[in-house]
Amino acid sequence: MQAKNEVIDISIPLSSKTVVYPGDPKVKVEVFKEWSETTSKLSEIAMGTHSGTHIDSPSHCLKDGKRIEDLPLDVFVGPARVLDFSMLEEKITKEDLINKNVKSGERILAKTRNSKEGFVTWRDNFAYLDGEAADYLAEVGIKLFGIDTWSVKQKGSKDNRAHTSLLSKDIPILETINLAEVKEGEYFLVCAPLKISGVEGAPTRALLIKF
């Protein structure tokens, strides 16, 4: 009998307790109608477009960049490689990526110490992608970059290349993924963003499938 494929949910839960980037709208989940009031229950959700596990499109940082609806769906569905950088204290550098032999057309998901430290408490000192490393990924021509943190760039840094170098090449960024239980290796990724018109980012239910 053929072994069943393993499906790994790398999304973080969305609720009123979800930690968001400082200054972003908080997630609100409330009951709109109760069973006692109608024949069915209905909830109301309010949140920012970058809450929880989400996709950054080019228009997030580039005035004339593509919006979520402009990005081809096949970017978000296909083979991906998880790279383990959890031993790094501060950031992912160009040299770290060279050592992992990143290639053109790959979907790259970066596992850092952030996954182990979790997503229930905000931390200013989360691990991030260095600007020069982002330049390198854009030059190589990867298809998508994901990372297990609220933002791909260092908090408070004026160097925005972690965003702009990738997004200027129409390389979407998948942020706030939980890779704590995921080993380095090859997977099949599904992370299509919600089809919301006119926005620069959108939540996604990100899944890895191990064959």
C-alpha–C-alpha distance, residues 44 and 27, integer Å: 11
Neighbours of 125 (CB within 10 A): 12
Active site residue 54: no
For residue 187, which amino acid is it? Y
- Look at the block and give the residue holding tokens 């069973």: 35
Which of 50, 54, 60, 163 does the annotation list as catalytic?
A: 60
Q: How far is CA 65 from CA 41, 85, 152, in A?
A: 39, 30, 18
203 within 8 A of 194, measured Cβ to Cβ: yes
Enumerate the active-site residues.
60
